[in-house]
Every structure is written in structure tokens, then in C-alpha cells.
Structure 1
């Protein structure tokens, strides 16, 4: 846990007192908290006349495209705009990294650029074991979301009056998604008080939930149906898992973001406290894995120990360089040891 001290807060206030070139970066394969926190901070700081660009490592999924600022404030690093995005990062006088704490979370291309910079970095993040690249670090795993941390960061800088409806909408989005719709253990009374304030500012919370959860298409339901039909339950380990092969994804024309949230269905079964979702990614020659748990089973440590990953105690990710079948075999073998 690393919080900003009074001296650092005053230094940041001074830095932000005059217009600067600022870049704000989320992690690769953005989710609601990553986009909500970066764009929420963007909407606040742009009122101070800074020149701000949100540099997103790769494509933004469709289900997040409605978030205010997505189309006019963001620059995608991977693809046609790599050179322009690289220039923005190199020219930035201040860089905020939100919802991640290690450069490799931005992808190999962007990581290479970030490592060459001598710019002042500010980290705001709630994941374990942060790297030490940032001069200013607000890092604490006890927070439900980075959006909650951005809200408190802005209050510490005495900029709370700049949280307008657009900023509040962004922050609410990340809080809602990373708290599992306000049901995960770190949903505190203080978090609800923050949300109440965001609603008072003008957030249309009902519409946000429609945009996030009731705005899919028929094909996305077919993908969910296929994933659920592939689910296996291992009652002896209180575990379930779901697979989606590359061939199945091709047949269903899966797009980025279409599988978001599927892993959570594995925990809806009675007496199951651990679940995993294995997605074959032939292009990268890996199997991408999402882990979720309830109670005391630590999926962050599980992912770190066995699957080149990490995250939070009850939500983490990883990857395997084996085939999908071999990855499942390895997974079950590990369960036999760790959950016997």
C-alpha cells in the first residue's frame, strides 16, 4: 500500500497548476474500470486547460464505446496510429498510468516505448506488487476499483468541483463494473457514499446499466450459450471451468468484448467457490485464462504460481503457452494438489 503524502500532493497541485502536455494510459484489453478511470481523469483535467490524450494500447471493445470521450479523446497505440501515439508519449510532460502497475500490462510494443521515457509518471492502481517506475504512486489493493481511487485522488488535490457529469459517468461506470454491480466484498459504505455523490452530480445510473448489460446482440447470446454448454463442474474441488476454442470463436465470429463477464457464470453454481474461463488465442499462441473465486481461495496467487498471471484475491488473469487440452489437464492436476 502506497499513498501520496502531503508533500507529494502539493507537488502535484503545483504541476497541474499550469497547462501541460499530459498522457493518460489504461492497460491493454481495457475493461470498464480502465476506460472509466482514464476518461474520468481526462474530463476533469481538461478543464484546467491541459493538452491531454488518452493513449489506449489496443482496440476498445464495442460495449464500452458509449463512454463519454471514447471517440474524441482516445488514440489507439497498436495499429495505424502507432507513430502518432509514440510521439504523444515522448512529448508528454506528465503521464498517468491507471488500473495497472507494470509496463508489460500495456503490451510489448507500448512497453518498449514507455521504458525509454524519462517523463514524470503518476500511478493510480489497486493491483498487487506494483513496479517502481512512478514518481507519484497511489497504490492500494483495498480499493474496489481504480475509479474510486481517481475520485479520492481528485478530492485530495482539491479538484472535486471539476467532477462534471461526463467525469462522474466515467467514474460510476468503472465502480459499477469492478465491484460486480456493488456485490463484491470491497463494496463499502464509503463507496456507496461516493456513488451517491456521483448520482447527485447528474449520473444516469439506470442508463449506464442498460449500456453495459442490456445492449448486446443476438450473436453475443449465442457465444454465451456455447460457452455455458462447454462448462464442466468438478464438485470434488468446488470448481467449475469453461472453455472456448479458437474454432468455436471463429464459427461464432467473436469480437473483442463479446466474452466479457462469461467467467462469472461459473460461480453461480451452488457450492462452487472457484472458476476459470479458458479462451484459445491462436494468433498469440496462448490460452488466455480468467479466474474468479468466492471466499478465501486466492486466485491472484494461483495465477502467479501456475499461469504467468496475477490480479486480485478473487479476480485474476493468466495465460498458458500449452495447447487448450494440455492447459486443462495441467489445471486439473494442480487442483488435485491445491484443493484436495
Structure 2
């Protein structure tokens, strides 16, 4: 984050534009936390600002301050379209290619607004006037905190803003477990706690909210797990029928993929989740196994070195067959 980017953002805000903030499709804790944190910060400064999401987000994030204010395109497409059409400044948070906004992508591509990207994924597209990109950052929430700090507005971070940013910081670092957790990450977490974020409450509200159906779905996922010791790889499959049988809700499979990495010596874990005529994939790894490259090369996705997502057009069986076909080449 350089001085020029900070000064440009400040100049753009001085124009008092109508502002929209956009997360990626299927927003997670970091996407929702960073969007709401920035939204509440800009509301403190009396801007006309809204968060617009392509689709809904998991119930375990709906307790966050002002989560009810998020405009969901899937629910009210005309209102979301009208909002984007009149926006003069658009922040895109936690993604770096407009296609990741899914149904909002055509509206964003057609917009005459000025764009500011804040993101920590690799290889950003070149669509924004200001691109604040740091693949080494632990989370987009950490980057939003640093932006507010660099603007000299840290005193405006209240309990609600701190709660939103801490939630994303916590979820995107796996409760401060992943390699992206640095001393700087912990300092930001401490600063947010000093601003009012309640660690224990945030943890409980986010993680201790499982339904019985989700617990049963996890048992199915673990039963379906396959481990390939010669490749130090575990994979999990969940079919549409299995999801339906357990009344699957958005966010229910969050974190399931990590169970594969709990196996001793496992270096790569993937979950294949059937969604209609395609398969959604989450990839996780340890060490220098680069799942971002795997997702980009084979599964129309991307992300970070140790955490990425992708998709396969076809059935779960076809996705697994293709994965097992290319797997030997990944470890050569």
C-alpha cells in the first residue's frame, strides 16, 4: 500500500460520490467483514454508500453489524442494478477479476464509475483506477484496516467496524493458524480488540452455530474421504443428493476441506461439491504445494498458494476422474 494509492483514494472520496462496495460471489467472512467494515467507516464520514452482493451469504455471518443492510442482487435485481448505475465510485473487495462478481459482472463492466480494488489474491486484473493488491496480506480485512490507518482515520474505528474487520481477519487465517498469520496480523487483531472487538463472542457467533443437519453432512463428507498416500493427498466428495438429504444451506460445507489436511503427512486436500451441472471445488495445502496454480491450470479458478477455489463443468465422478488423471503430474 503506497502513498500514491492512499492519496488517490482520498481525492476520489473528496468528490463526495455515491459509493457501492462489492464482494465476490458466495462471500465468505473476509469478503463480508471487509465490505461491512469499509461501509461502516464511510458511513461515519456521511457518505452515501451501500454494499451490493451478487448473492446471499452464510447465516453464520448474518449477526454482523449492519449485515441486514447488504443489498442482494439475487433478491432485488432492479434495486441492485439501479444502485450500481448511479454509483460514481465502486470498491471491489476480496477479489481481483470482475468475473468473480458473477451476475454483477456485466453491470460492473458497463459502469462508468471509478473503481478501487482492495484484495490479497494473486494476479489482479487491470480494471481499477486504484489497485491495492497484496498477496502476502493475511486478509482483505487487514488491508482495509491498514487503509483506514494510512488515511489518518483510525480514531473512527468503533466497536462495530472492529467487529467486522476482526471477523474477516479471524476466518481468513483459520483462527490465526495459517502461514499468512504474522506478527503484523496479530498486531492488527490486538488493535481491533482494543477498539471493542470481542474475540470470544465473535468466535462463538461465527463457529458455534452448526445445525444438526450440518453435523450429519460432515459425517457423510468424512465417510466419503479418500486418501492417496503416494501423493499425500486427500479428497472429499459431496453429491447434490447428499446435500439435499441434509437440507444443505449456504455455508454449511465451509471448512470441511480442512479435515483432509489433518491426516498425518497430508499436503493437499480438495473437496468436490456438486452444484447442478457443475462441481464447486475448494483446495487447501501445506508448505510449497501451490493450489493457486493447480486451480488456475486445471479448474478455472485461483486464490492463494495454500488456499484456492475452482470449478469443473460436469459431474462429481467426472471431476474426480480428471483430478486423479492430472494428480501425478502435480508432484513431478
Scaled by the length of structure 2, what TM-score is found?
0.98
How many residues align? The count is 332
Deviations 1:75-122 (A, max 9, x none): 00123x111111111111211100001110011x21111111111111
Q: Aligned pair 1:291/2:283, yes or no?
A: yes
Give 1:68 shift.
Answer: 0.7
Q: Aligned pair 1:30/2:27, yes or no?
A: yes
Aligned partner of 1:152 among 129, 139, 146: 146
What SS does structure 2 have at the residue aligned with 1:173?
A: helix
Q: Distance in 2 between matches of 1:10 and 1:338?
A: 43
The equivalent of 2:96 in structure 1 is: 101
What SS does structure 1 have at the residue aligned with 2:236?
A: strand
Deviations 1:194-249 (A, max 9, x none): 11111111111100000111111111101111111110110011000000001111
C-alpha contact 1:286 1:322 (8 A) present in aligned 2: yes
Q: Distance in 1 between matches of 2:73 and 2:271?
A: 27
Give 1:18 shift.
Answer: 5.6
C-alpha contact 1:286 1:320 (8 A) present in aligned 2: yes
Find runs of 4+ consecutive structure 1 residues off by over 4 angstroms: none
Q: Aligned pair 1:84/2:79, yes or no?
A: yes
The equivalent of 1:273 in structure 2 is: 267
Aligned partner of 1:301 among 288, 293, 301: 293
Q: How does 1:129-208 map to 2 (within 5 A)?
A: 129-208=123-202
Q: Distance in 1 between matches of 2:145 and 2:236?
A: 35
Q: Distance in 2 between matches of 1:9 and 1:201?
A: 23
C-alpha contact 1:4 1:137 (8 A) present in aligned 2: no
Aligned partner of 2:314 among 316, 319, 322: 322
What SS does structure 2 have at the residue aligned with 1:143?
A: coil
- Gaps in structure 2 of 5+ consecutive residues: none
Q: Distance in 1 between matches of 2:264 and 2:7?
A: 51
What SS does structure 2 have at the residue aligned with 1:16?
A: helix
Q: How does 1:55-74 map to 2 (within 5 A)?
A: 55-71=52-68, 73-74=69-70
Aligned partner of 1:21 among 18, 31, 44: 18
The equivalent of 2:221 in structure 1 is: 227
Q: Which 10-residue stretch deviates more, 172-181 or 8-17?
A: 8-17
CA RMSD, aligned part only?
A: 1.1
C-alpha contact 2:8 2:130 (8 A) present in aligned 1: no
What SS does structure 1 have at the residue aligned with 2:308?
A: strand
Give 1:337 shift.
Answer: 2.3
Q: Aligned pair 1:52/2:49, yes or no?
A: yes
- Gaps in structure 1 of 5+ consecutive residues: none
Scaled by the length of structure 1, what TM-score is found?
0.95
